Structure 1
Amino acid sequence: MKSGKKGRSPRKSKNTHVTRSGKSIKLNQSLNQKMKARKSAKATRKAERLASLPKGRVKRFLHHFEPKRMYKYWFSRDGGIMALKILGIGLAVGFLLVLGLFAYFRKDLPNLRDISGNNFGGSVRYYDRTGETLLWEDYDAIKRIPVEDDNINQYMKDATVAIEDKDFFKHGGFDVRGILRAGINNVVGGSSTQGGSTITQQLVKLTQNWTKDRSYTRKAKELILSVELERTYSKDEILAGYLNTAPYGNVQYGVEAATRDYFQKSAKELTLDEAAFLAAIPKSPSFYSPYGAYYKANEKESREALIGRQHYVLNLMHEQGKISTKERDAAKKVDILAKIKEPQAKFAGIKAPWFVLAAKKQLELERGVDSVKVGGWSVTTTLDLDKQKIAEEQVANGLPQIQAQGGDTAAFAAEDVTTGQMVALVGGVDFNNKEFGQFNYANQPLPPGSSFKPYDYASLIEHSDNVGAGSVLYDTQAPITGWPCTNKANPKQGGNCLWDYDFRYPGPLTLRYALGGSRNVPAVKAMLAVGIDKTIATAEKLGLKSGYKCFEDEENTVEGPCYGSAAIGDGAFLHLDEHVHGYSSLARNGLNLPQTYILKITNASDKVISEWKPSKGTQAIRPDAAYIVSDMLKDPNASYFPAGRKPHRFNGWKFAMKTGTTNDGKDGWMMGFSAKYAAGVWVGYHTRQRVMSGTMENMTQPIWQGWMNAAHQNEPVKEQPKPAGVKSAPAYIVRSHVGIGSVEPSPSTDLVPSWYKAPNQSSVNQVIDKVSNKIATSCTPERAKDKVTGGSANQFSVDPFVGGAASNSSDKDDVHKCDDVKPTVALNITTTSNGYNLSVNVGQGTHPISSDRFKGTVNYILDGRNIKSVNINGPGNGQAAFSYSPDFSGTKKIYAEIIDSVLYDSTSQQGSLTSKAKESSFSVSATEVGVNKYTFAWSTGGTGLITVFDSDGAICSKSANSSGCDGEFIVNPFVGIYAKDSTGKKVTVPSP
């Protein structure tokens, strides 16, 4: 039965199954076996596929992209798997790349905690010291006034959204379609670069000042910040931020500033047509703004474009359902351009303009010009409006006198001594003058003339151990550094000596009287004794922050070395406001506090950026030196100012004062201080190219004294504290007349510093000759003799240019000789209907009749009383003539007396005058013409000379035949004023 085995089916494998078709299927008994089988099959397929492909992965990958194979592979199972792998890797890499880019850009991005636009800036507002009065709103490069959301009209919000970003309230910070549209346009080369920016993105650009940066890097940063902005703030807040920062042409940023300028109203009051007009501008402010230069140059084209865009905004608002058809059509009919107002002038409405600009200058120096241009600050200045008003009034009142003497402008500055804060400043006479009105003479370089001299003496005392107020410098004609003095003629006649303003040399002077008399020679010697550079450095330490500079060219552009003339303010330059500060430091006993025009700065969020705080200051010079110079400046007896015009005392206050006149007569100064305020005034011609006539004091004193008196009117009196080390010591006694109004002799003791080393002293009684200032002899006339006690000038001398031989109080009188011939005088009397005409014939003796120091004088002596004194210049007949109306009844004796230049005198023979004259009868009235300023007039009936007096002495005098005194006179208080004529008749002057 072997043949039966042949028909049996094959035996089945344990792991296989044969189908009806005869195909074997491998069976897996477990999941693990199945996985192994798949792996084995996959490996087999891969081996078979790789066997038919090139070697190398890159070559195999590219092999699949050959046209004849590409379709078959990529639509096969293996190709699909490969495509999915590539897509997955791409997505993963893309995600990581985005994360990396975000991290890369995010580390350099600002924190957008504030979308108000305050960092974007705006105007700078300047206020007075109270913070309540707005002085000026300086828009400079940016005019911006932030407002709250509810202060912006809804029309403005709707118009802005309609034209700028209609999906603003839908997107999350950026518009994908807009970005793609802009990107495609830029790639394919559209007519212009498109941004595709939303309002949120624009706000980011504006607040970060990215408007000019069109790079893709900036765009990435912008997108990131936009998303953060949307997460942090509401849509209303973002829209308000944008409306507060958007550009609306010219310097207008933000809708409030734009509305105020274009329509002179607030953003809350905008109408539909106005809102659409404003919304049309930010697209291209320089093109659409009616204030822009392009608009004005192409007005027809720009008008049409602007109206067209405004109408386009209205159409969009209508399409988006924000306004009705009726509203749209009505708005289009409005002539919007007729409603546009003219732009305001930069300085429109400014108060205290020069002070504000000085504050701005300080702001720029301290905070940087760029920061000030960005702005957005409120600046509380140190300005005292009351003191400023007084300053402006005094300058205005003084202008006619300045113009009468050839000038046309003035400047004034005042500082609070106790703080260093400026309280008033006037930089000119008319800020609106187109030629020079905005030039601030108060902080421009000017030569100070003699007003610099206090620094000379302060430096001398500070840097010496043997100098006090009573030390001697010789005011004599002799060589000193810079002046060879080989030709002693007047400088106008070719002389090369250093001269004083009055062309006199009074001889040895104390520092007190040299400063009070404003003598040039001692001041120059003081500077040279210490050193020019050291003296200038002392002045700069006291407060001349911008320096005391000399120049080598007429344009003052090339700095050069200073010479001795700088001691008297000639050829060197400083600033008035800093000069006031230097004087203020003297008033503080040498302490230099920081000078400031600014009290506080706050930003638009009212956050304090900086605030003035009291400073300990810097001790520029020792207190003793500053106090002694201050005391010298306060001394009315040492001052050359005439009686009745000395401004050194007011209501118990003591004022230090110094004048200044440049040698070329182009600048006039008056500087000074009390324990409360320091102030200074400058007068001149606006180009400084015109010489002024007359005395500078007639221009400067009314302004300076007027302000000082008014500023101290209601202030409690304060004294400058005297340093403990300052003491008194014997001083040289000045007996020769120094200035017009100086009072001699000078004190026998004077102030010295604590480090002062006294010279050998003498208390010998001597009789000196007033003319030679030497020991009197038997030949010295009695009128020239003066009994004195004290040492010689040389004993107190600190003059490096004069040695022991210069002593003028140990040598004997060498002017008068016993055989000198005296002058002669004869009296001429002629009877008239009203009285007599009197004159004299004068003959000269050995010496001239008159000199600069002692004028020739004729006195008419009636019955032992001097009824008339007349100065004459030389001999001659008919001299000193005048008409005399007797004020007595009966007959009286009269004679004439002549006194010559060296104080020789002689008398004429006596004559007789007879009269039945009535008693003198006259009245005097006063008229107030300003604050404590008066004029005096009188009636007929007076005799000879009428003199008006107050408690301090004579105020003014004039012939009884005139109508009154010439000029205006300061009297304070107006109490006990009276007048007398030559007969002694006294009348009371009633208060006006």
Structure 2
Amino acid sequence: MNFEKKATKKKQEAINSAPKKRNKKVGVTLIKVFAFSILLAGIIGIATGLGIVKAIIDSAPPLDLEDVNPEGYATFIYDQEGKEIQKLHGDEANRIYAQLDQIPQHLQDAVVALEDERFWNHNGIDIQGIFRAIFKNIKSGDLTASGASTLTQQIIKNNVLSPEKKFERKIQEQYLAIQLEKEIDKKKILELYLNTSAFGRGTYGVQAAANTYFNKDVSDLTIAESATIASITQRPNFYDPLLNPENNKEKQKIVLNKMLEQEYINQAEYDEALVEDVYAHIQIINQDIVQSDYSYFVDEVIRAVLEDLKEQKGYNEGEAFNLIYRGGLSIYMTQDLGMQSIVDEVYTNEEYFPPASEMYAVRVMYTMSVQHADGTTKHHYDETEFPTKEKADAHLEALEAEWVQAGDEILAEKVLYIPQPQSAMVIMDYHNGHVKAISGGRGEKIGNQTFNRATQAKRQPGSAFKILAAYLPAIDTMGYTLATVIDDVPFTVTTGGVPYSPKNWYNHQAFNYRGLTSVRTSIKDSMNINAVKTLYDIGAQTGFDYLLNLGFTSLVDTEVVNGKTYTDKNLALALGGITHGVSPLELTAAYGAIANNGVYIEPVFYTKVLNHKGAILLEKEPISRTVMKETTSFLLTSAMQSVITGGTGTMANFKSMPIAGKTGTTQDDVDLILTAYTPYYVATVWMGYDQPKSMNYSHSYHSVIWRDVMKRIHEDLPYKDFPRPSGIVSASVCSESGKLAVPGLCDQDPRGSTIVTEYFAAGTVPTESCDVHIKAIVCEESGLFATEYCPEHTKIEKIFIQRPQPLIPANWNPNSPPRIADHQYELPESMVGEYCNIHGPAFEVPVVDLPDQSNFNPLKYPEDND
């Protein structure tokens, strides 16, 4: 055997394998270094995280058991001057404390099953629930969607902590929850939760909820009723079993399913609870909560703070409600008490509203809960409108006789008289968005958080939209000026096979069309066809987009209901014909943007909210955006001053201050609106029936309300004009053409001079001269253009108008031709191209030179005696 060769081969293999071994060693070393680095980073990260968590825990407030008792802290509301206006307190809410042994086991179980299914096993925080919430949030893409708060955490959240920093608050909340469970037992924690939670309608605690909704002691609740009450806490308004029984019913099913799954009830109990119609015997009237403690303004402030706590601080509705009424907050409103008192004084004065002899009516809402002799409960409701209160009372007596039989007991009843027509008003400082005063309606306000017509009523804006949807975008971006001329003549456009022919509000007057009219005059006289033509020219989409930018939230892009498609992107938009309507508050803010040099500021009702320790909880910084050019806002203001001084809004003019505004009247006079502003404030007044119907409009009641309120508000304010921006110039133009006026032509119009001085944005002054007016020499005898043959004494000079787009009489209805005001001044069609047919060469007596006839004796004929 050749051992030498074998040895040589081994040496070669050893030499060749040496780098591989070295590489393997280096690779192992790198892996170790990388692993160590990860471990070190992890240790550092954990240490850092623990340090952060420890710092957060160390900054947590000390746990004081007094903080978790159901008394809470009083919340105070202040006006703009810092004067206390209202006190909110848990004690003022409907609360009756109940010991845990007074609360039925199935109600306790319903709450635990829904809110905290591992309540009896965790130490204050639910680890399993936390991981489930994290997974759910990651899956949904919303890291704040679910928080896995236990009942103990909710007590801490509602009573101890402020929600200023969500992550820190969550850590502190979990820490304090663990501490609380060390201090008191589970049963006490559950008792506290059941007595401090909000159940809507001003009720706190399950005993008050049982009284409010079922008129019974909490101990007498059935399983179905308990599930109904437990369903309310997460969103008290949304799951209100009176206002939204369908929502509550869906939630009740979820609660019952959880109770069955967690074996708190058996199948038979589940089936029985599911078929029990709790909504048929809900106590729908509670005399303790029908009296109104708060004004419409305070209601709106509470609503605004509630929404901001939810949106900005992550509170659910129940938690936010609880904090407002029990959290010891200090809420600073934007309300001006002096202005509010003026508004209230006017709205309680019946002289500002139609008398019984005109269109007065009263709408009566009558509710009654009757317990019959067999123990069943029947709820009755009637809503009817009457011309007088006496007739309403007679109707109520008849209803009571019908509803209540011998042996029946009236559990509760309520009569609400609502005068008609109704009205609402909003006053806002458009420089900062601060709402200064509102009226949500006339008549007695019964109940808190009741319907507020100033902020919640969605009504058709009518002609008030002509400015916002048509003329504003046309002037701002589409090249229109106040001098632009629109021809008010019959107009039809077909969309989707459906013809649309708008009519003017003066359709039944001597002239139902006014012909060539400037944008300024179209605004001043609120001309329908010209507004629609303008929107048609610029496009409905453009008008729609401007309205969205002006803060209107209820406009419909595309909506399908029962197979029918609705959209507000159509020409009716120019006349306020929209699907859902808008609120007076939205109109006020939109017109405030015009007043505020083109800057829209979202209206606000409060400036800041402090927690019970005086730290800022919420600070309301108005949201603003530029929605039009500064020059556009000035031009529209100028045009709308014409509305007040000589147009449809003259009844609102109090003359001691410049006013610009726009009236709005919907079809058949169902809604009457005036939105107008001064150099200080913008205000809107709406008037109409709650159940829309014609008011047979004959008086400007809404305009008089606006005038008298605003006149008093401005009495002590110094006079000032609307500011004129640097980009505004003026020029003399012809109002019939919108072009430069021609002296000797435009000033000779048979109706009077049409030369006007108009404002323009720099760069938009017309460069062409008037081409509407024409001068013609007419033969008075023939009525046609004069020729060189017409005697001078028959020649007269006339001024006619000639439309850029000729009228087409062939398209008119021969049975009802349009009555166009300026048609009589137009060059007659019979004259076009026609010259005098009386005077001319064919009719001239020839001149002949005759010989001297002095010696000529003519023949004499016999005289004609006939």
What TM-score does the superposition give when structure 2 sets the normalisation length? 0.52
2:179 pairs, out of 225, 238, 256, with 225
Aligned to 1:812: 827
Name the aligned partner's letter for residue 126 of structure 1.
I
2:521 is the alignment partner of 1:506: no
2:604 is the alignment partner of 1:593: no
Check the 8 A contact 1:657/1:670 in 2, yes or no.
Answer: yes
1:349 pairs, out of 288, 293, 305, with 293
TM-superposed deviation, 1:674: 1.0
Aligned to 1:692: 695
CA distance in 1, matches of 2:445, 2:158: 36
Secondary structure, aligned partner of 1:717 = coil
Check the 8 A contact 1:429/1:437 in 2, yes or no.
Answer: no
CA distance in 2, matches of 1:556, 1:420: 40
> Deviation per CA, 1:321-353, whole angstroms, max 9, x where unpaired?
xxxxxxxxxxxxxxxxxxxxx995376421345
Check the 8 A contact 1:142/1:373 in 2, yes or no.
Answer: no
Name the aligned partner's letter for residue 562 of structure 1.
K
Aligned to 1:632: 639
Name the aligned partner's letter for residue 622 of structure 1.
K
Aligned to 2:347: 395
CA distance in 2, matches of 1:793, 1:557: 41
2:618 is the alignment partner of 1:669: no
> Deviation per CA, 1:381-424, whole angstroms, max 9, x where unpaired?
11111111222233333663187336421111111022111111
CA distance in 2, matches of 1:765, 1:223: 85
- Cα separation, partners in 2 of 1:758 and 1:390, compared to 1, 3 Å: same
1:374 pairs, out of 304, 322, 343, with 322
TM-superposed deviation, 1:678: 0.4
Check the 8 A contact 2:291/2:446 in 1, yes or no.
Answer: no
2:359 pairs, out of 405, 427, 442, with 405
Aligned to 2:224: none
Name the aligned partner's letter for residue 676 of structure 1.
Y
- Cα separation, partners in 2 of 1:363 and 1:104, compared to 1, 3 Å: closer
Name the aligned partner's letter for residue 296 of structure 1.
K
CA distance in 1, matches of 2:663, 2:729: 27
1:647 pairs, out of 643, 648, 652, with 652
Secondary structure, aligned partner of 1:379 = strand
Check the 8 A contact 2:555/2:568 in 1, yes or no.
Answer: no
TM-superposed deviation, 1:676: 0.7
CA distance in 2, matches of 1:225, 1:716: 62
2:398 is the alignment partner of 1:446: no
Secondary structure, aligned partner of 2:354 = helix
Aligned to 2:835: none
Aligned to 2:493: 480
CA distance in 2, matches of 1:463, 1:196: 64
- Cα separation, partners in 2 of 1:790 and 1:426, compared to 1, 3 Å: farther
Secondary structure, aligned partner of 1:654 = coil
Aligned to 2:472: 458
CA distance in 2, matches of 1:565, 1:220: 56
Check the 8 A contact 2:486/2:517 in 1, yes or no.
Answer: yes
Which ranges in structure 2 are unaligned for 5 or more consecutive residues? 1-46, 102-118, 125-149, 161-171, 222-285, 361-419, 738-750, 778-782, 787-795, 812-820, 833-866
CA distance in 1, matches of 2:52, 2:520: 73
- Cα separation, partners in 2 of 1:734 and 1:193, compared to 1, 3 Å: closer
- Cα separation, partners in 2 of 1:635 and 1:483, compared to 1, 3 Å: farther
Aligned to 1:563: 570
2:418 is the alignment partner of 1:416: no
CA distance in 1, matches of 2:436, 2:596: 17
Aligned to 1:823: none
Aligned to 1:748: 756
Secondary structure, aligned partner of 2:642 = coil
2:620 is the alignment partner of 1:620: no
Secondary structure, aligned partner of 2:675 = strand
Name the aligned partner's letter for residue 696 of structure 2.
S
1:521-540 matches, within 5 Å, as 521-540=529-548
- Cα separation, partners in 2 of 1:603 and 1:694, compared to 1, 3 Å: same
CA distance in 1, matches of 2:452, 2:563: 17
TM-superposed deviation, 1:749: 2.3
Check the 8 A contact 1:516/1:639 in 2, yes or no.
Answer: yes
1:739-778 matches, within 5 Å, as 748-756=756-764, 758-762=766-770
> Deviation per CA, 1:104-130, whole angstroms, max 9, x where unpaired?
999799554144677997665433222
CA distance in 2, matches of 1:649, 1:363: 39
Check the 8 A contact 1:731/1:749 in 2, yes or no.
Answer: yes
2:472 is the alignment partner of 1:518: no
Aligned to 1:860: none
1:728 pairs, out of 722, 727, 730, with 730
CA distance in 1, matches of 2:726, 2:513: 36
Check the 8 A contact 1:470/1:731 in 2, yes or no.
Answer: yes
Check the 8 A contact 1:442/1:577 in 2, yes or no.
Answer: yes
> Deviation per CA, 1:683-729, whole angstroms, max 9, x where unpaired?
111122x222124x522111111122111111112222111111113
RMSD: 5.6
- Cα separation, partners in 2 of 1:584 and 1:347, compared to 1, 3 Å: farther
Aligned to 2:587: 579
Aligned residue pairs: how many?
Answer: 542
CA distance in 1, matches of 2:294, 2:308: 17
TM-superposed deviation, 1:462: 0.7
TM-superposed deviation, 1:620: 0.7
- Cα separation, partners in 2 of 1:380 and 1:414, compared to 1, 3 Å: same
Aligned to 1:80: none
Name the aligned partner's letter for residue 387 of structure 1.
M
CA distance in 1, matches of 2:177, 2:451: 47
TM-superposed deviation, 1:559: 5.3
CA distance in 2, matches of 1:295, 1:529: 62
- Cα separation, partners in 2 of 1:142 and 1:701, compared to 1, 3 Å: closer
2:51 is the alignment partner of 1:113: no
Aligned to 1:297: 217
CA distance in 1, matches of 2:208, 2:485: 76
CA distance in 1, matches of 2:289, 2:616: 30
CA distance in 2, matches of 1:517, 1:751: 18
CA distance in 1, matches of 2:208, 2:495: 67
Secondary structure, aligned partner of 2:768 = coil
- Cα separation, partners in 2 of 1:768 and 1:555, compared to 1, 3 Å: farther
Aligned to 2:266: none
CA distance in 1, matches of 2:333, 2:680: 19
1:169-184 matches, within 5 Å, as none
- Cα separation, partners in 2 of 1:106 and 1:555, compared to 1, 3 Å: same
> Deviation per CA, 1:579-604, whole angstroms, max 9, x where unpaired?
10010110012111232111111111
TM-superposed deviation, 1:517: 0.4
Check the 8 A contact 2:483/2:520 in 1, yes or no.
Answer: yes
Structure with the higher helix share, 1 or 2: 2
- Cα separation, partners in 2 of 1:482 and 1:751, compared to 1, 3 Å: farther
Name the aligned partner's letter for residue 518 of structure 1.
S
CA distance in 2, matches of 1:472, 1:132: 53
> Deviation per CA, 1:142-198, whole angstroms, max 9, x where unpaired?
889xxxxxxxxxxx9xxx9xx9xxxxxxxxxxxxxxxxxxxxxxxxxxxx979999x
1:140-159 matches, within 5 Å, as none
- Cα separation, partners in 2 of 1:692 and 1:204, compared to 1, 3 Å: closer
Work out which structure has the larger RCO, using CA pairs closer than 8 Å and 6 or more positions apart in sequence.
Answer: 2
> Deviation per CA, 1:192-251, whole angstroms, max 9, x where unpaired?
979999xxx99998425799xxxxxx999779626999xxxxxxxx9xxx99x9569476
